[in-house]
A and B are shown apart, each in its own frame.
Chain A
Amino acid sequence: MNWDRRAFVKFAVGAVVGIHASPLVPKLMDDSAIWTQNWNWVPTPEKGALAFANSVNPETGTGVRARLIKGRLQGERLIRIEGDDQHPASRGGVVPADAAAPQNMYYGDFRVQTPLIWDPLSGIHQAATWDQALDLVAGKLAELYKAGKSQTVAAIGADAESVSGEILARFMAAYGSPNLAFMPSAKQTLALAGWAMLGERNLGFDLDHAKYVVSFGTPLLEGFGAPVAVRKAFANWRQDYQRTGTLVQVESRASVTASQADVWLACKPGAESAVALGMCQVMVSQGLYDKGLVDGALGFGETDKGKGFKALLDAQYTPAQVEALSGVPAKKLVETAVAFAKAAKAVAVCGPGNAGEPGRLFDFMAVLALNCLKGNLGKEGGLVVRQPLPLKPLGEALAPVAKPRLDALAGKRLIDGYDPLSLAKAALAGAPYKLGALLVVNCNPAYSGPQASLMAQMIKAAPFVVAVSPYLDETAKMAQVILPAGTWLESWGDSLTPYGSPVGLYGLHRPLVNPYPQAKSAGDAILALAAKLGGPVAQALPLASTEEALKVRASGLGDFDKLSQQSWWAQAKPAYGAPAMKTPSGKLEFFSMGLHNLLTAKASDGAAMDKMLKALGVTASGSAALMPHYEPVATGGHGKLVLAASASLRASAASQTTAPYQIKVLDNTVLSHTKDMVVEINPATAAELHLAEDDRVRVDSAAGGAEARVHLFAGVAPGMIYMPVGLGHFAPANAFTFERGGNYNRVAEATADPLSGTPVWSLTQVAVTKL
């Protein structure tokens, strides 16, 4: 036996072979592979008991089911939002904004977790207790009240119809300020148009049963009303790969809705109502209209007020004239009008604009006129009247505040209303008085406008701003005091029937999880403030909590516990049947006596009325001014191109913040080069401006500007530029959306809708310069 190197080598080889003959190598390799899978690539929630809970997203009207896990260590966590298949409108579907909601809720850095008070010395918001924050706010408000300046406190809320809206309204009325503005919505415009012509404010479109739908200038499939409900209705029209329903989209871009429609009538921007009126004219001239309803209507034939609607149509809206106004070929117009008139269940639809704008009164009246001529009122698949929701008020009606309003249009308005833009304009002008304090509840006007730069200016200039917000968003950043609100998944609140729904729907959301214990429901924050203030304000709001307020409000909807578990209440089916006309004449009115009476109350004679109408921006004269007609869009400003927004279900509604997941699903015709917003320009227009694909440009209007990249898209009308919404956030707390793209609301200039005065911001003149 030689104890030498060779012997050692033999030993070593034996050892190696021995190791490999054992399971050591495969076992360790397998374990190493599994060890690498343990690295925290994807954080996963702790496993635990599974539970489901219903809710309704107030922004989208979708009925959802939340999946909750109760982990042993982490407690109750909401891990997923799915659709509630029992909800009569959304039937189990969700849109990206619904699915992404938990992401925003759990985004700790972006959430307001405790009350925050601005410290001018350090230049940052410092955490405080609720008592400290409320003491500060109540102190300021009490000071103004004692000095007789309660009217200098203004408030902006998101939804006037919601319970928090009602609580805020009672607060302001009891406190003594008339300056309460809510975000404008298309619901107001449809209600006004319905009232003007039918005496009925509560209208909906029965899309589920319609077989021929013409949509005028509204993104029917990309953000109309309750988006999921509309998509479900649309699915009915495409059942089993057959086209059982026809959709005609009238707009100036080959949008998703236009692409999925059966017919796209490409029309010039803002001229959709001219197309509707053209269709009316064709139907009347060919006798294809509901003579029984229409011939006897007020203002159809000649009246003592002037020429009637029929004469107006023949004078100004013949197919040839409409072709000149809108660019839609006369032949196509006639074809569509006849098909619409002959279809069994046809409905014409109007709605919010691409960026959620409220829509224009006369446009909506034109669409209602088309529906009346079709004779689909109260019929299946047509325009239906909804039963109002049997909600109870929170208390005795409060006397209206006798103090003068701040908004610029006060006194000049024909239609009573209060929008944040007119508040901002007056506040910045400092007339008739200066703003003393501003409350912003559950909305983000510095980002979502209307006309965001002006809103931001107002908020910056206001001496004392209180934001009740779940997020450290653009508006909250500028506030002196931020009170933490819960998102809809963590708080009590409600939402009423979404725009255009044919049935009354009530959605209730309740706290499903409590990740930030200091966040309260928005209503609770206002109630707490009222309690601190005491006096008449506390007396007007003797409610312990928003939950209690909801119990009062929804007492007519059945057992509250059941309702809050189910989260929704719905009218069983549309109220079919010819509606009673509640107009002054008791008939359908093409010439609106309602509007006429409002005018005569303010103006003494014909000349004064004309003057008032001109002042309200109405270009039509004579009786046409109070009938459905086409008003050219006042875009104002400078610049050669017309800017509009492109709607998308992937972005969020104007006030809800865009979630990181939603940023990820934007393709590079919306967001490219990681942070650049993409605008769409017609290739011919781009050639004139010497712009090529992917060029960096600056888009400027009188209201503001944004930078973007160019995308050449022949589906955009020449002379137009389309910008996506939901980008351009500038709240640094949200790292995912911060400075990604530009904000459409900053560039869009809001103008007052003729007659109604509602701010609209669909079209803006812009200048595009290459960078």
Chain B
Amino acid sequence: MTTHEQGQAKRSPADWLLFVVGFVLFSALGFWGTPALLYAEKPQPFQFSHKLHMEQVSDGCKSCHYFQEDGSFSGIPALEKCKDCHSDTPNGDTPQEKVFVEQYLNQNRDVPWLVYSRQPDCVFFSHAAHAENAGLECAQCHGEHGDSTSLRRYEYNRLTGYSRDIWGWNILGLGGPPKRMKMDDCANCHRDNGVRDACFVCHK
């Protein structure tokens, strides 16, 4: 056949199968390969059981995650708070407490917990405005930590360094809680609830 004749010859519809194969293969790469390559796990310093601790304290979540006098939120408690109950002799016999006492408490080192909801420095967030004024429950954004016996898996984005919780565990950004915490998610909630969503509300 001449090239011209070749060109004129009918092509097999099976050619388009290749299109489909290419499409399926690479969209799969996009959907599943991306998160697999992008995210990595980092273990927490040691496992912490919220359930166990909730049974011991009298004030619920507020025992360790509370508002200070000036209205700022205490966040994840510092070593000083742990010392309220823990001392250099372990209270129980869990291997995790042993790690805590030996490697952190006795050495007066603050535990470098990995924070699931860490936002960039440009973001101003007030727990008081949300938890007290708006009456949101902790679990609505952070998930049911309080009932967990161990800390959730912490994965971070290799490129940005932020927790996987921010974009959301689903690559499409669906599902939750814990709620996604991208800027749009905050803005959407503000808009839906008629709260101001101007730039300066969160970027001071």
| Interfacial residues, chain A to chain B (CB-CB below 8 A) | 1-2, 6-8, 10-19, 21-25, 27-28, 30-32, 34-35, 37-38, 42, 44, 47-50, 52, 70, 72
Contact = CB atoms under 8 A, between A and B. Distances in A.
Given A31-B159, A34-B160, A1 B14 contact: yes
Mostly, the A contact residues are helix
B30 A21 contact: yes
Contacts of A11: 18-19, 21-22
Interface of B: 11-12, 14-31, 33-34, 38, 68, 70, 72, 74-75, 78, 110, 112, 120-122, 157, 159-162, 167, 171-173
A407 to B, nearest CB: 52
Given A15-B25, A31-B160, A37-B122, 14 more contacts: A1-B15, A7-B15, A7-B18, A10-B22, A14-B21, A22-B30, A23-B30, A24-B30, A24-B34, A27-B171, A31-B157, A37-B120, A44-B121, A49-B78
A228 to B, nearest CB: 22
Contacts of A38: 160-161
A433 B19 CA distance: 102
A50 B72 contact: yes
Most chain B CB within 10 A, of A18, A23, A35, A52, is at A18
A19 B161 contact: no
Closest 5 pairs between A and B when the two form their complex, measured CB to CB: A22-B30, A14-B22, A18-B26, A18-B27, A24-B30
A666 B112 CA distance: 42
Contact of B171 (A19, A23, A70): A23
A18 B25 contact: yes
Contacts of A72: 78, 110, 112
Contacts of B33: 24
A72 B113 CA distance: 10
B150 to A, nearest CB: 22
B26 A2 contact: no
B23 A14 contact: yes
A14 B20 CA distance: 6
B26 A15 contact: yes
Contacts, number: 110
A17 B25 CA distance: 11
A516 B70 CA distance: 29
A34 B23 contact: no
B110 to A, nearest CB: 4
Contacts of A2: 11-12, 15
Contacts of B28: 18, 22
A23 B11 contact: no
Given A2-B15, A10-B15, A22-B27, A15 B160 contact: no
A27 B167 CA distance: 9
B68 A50 contact: yes
A2 B25 CA distance: 20
Nearest to A45: B121
B22 to A, nearest CB: 3
24 contacts: A1-B12, A1-B14, A2-B15, A10-B16, A11-B21, A14-B21, A15-B25, A18-B22, A18-B28, A18-B30, A22-B31, A22-B34, A23-B30, A23-B34, A28-B34, A31-B157, A34-B159, A37-B120, A42-B121, A47-B75, A48-B78, A50-B70, A52-B70, A70-B78
Contacts of B20: 14
B34 to A, nearest CB: 5
A47 B16 CA distance: 56
Nearest to B121: A44
A755 B34 CA distance: 86
A27 B27 CA distance: 14
B67 to A, nearest CB: 12
Contacts of A10: 15-16, 18-19, 22
A17 B16 CA distance: 13
Contacts of B122: 37
A32 B157 CA distance: 11
Contacts of A37: 120, 122
Contact of B120 (A14, A27, A34): A34
A49 B22 CA distance: 53
A24 B19 contact: no
A498 to B, nearest CB: 29
Nearest to B73: A50
A582 B112 CA distance: 67
Nearest to A34: B160
Contacts of B14: 1
A149 to B, nearest CB: 52
A319 B24 CA distance: 99
Given A18-B22, A44-B121, A24 B161 contact: no
A6 B9 CA distance: 13
Contacts of B72: 50
B172 A23 contact: yes
The interface centre, meaning the residue of B11, B26, B159 with most chain A CB atoms within 10 A of its CB, is B26
Contacts of A12: 22
B26 A32 contact: no
A39 to B, nearest CB: 12
Kindly name the residue among B16, B27, B122, B161 whose own CB sees the greatest number of chain A CB atoms within 10 A.
B27
A24 B68 contact: no
Contacts of A1: 12, 14-15, 17
A2 B6 CA distance: 11
Contacts of B11: 2, 6
B159 A18 contact: no
A340 to B, nearest CB: 46
Contacts of A22: 26-31, 34
A22 B26 CA distance: 8
Contacts of B27: 18-19, 21-22
Nearest to B81: A49
Contacts of A35: 159-160
A12 B173 CA distance: 28
B18 A14 contact: yes
Contact of A34 (B16, B24, B29, B162): B162
B23 A15 contact: yes
B15 A6 contact: yes
Contacts of A32: 159
B4 to A, nearest CB: 15
Contact of A15 (B22, B167, B172): B22
A584 B40 CA distance: 87
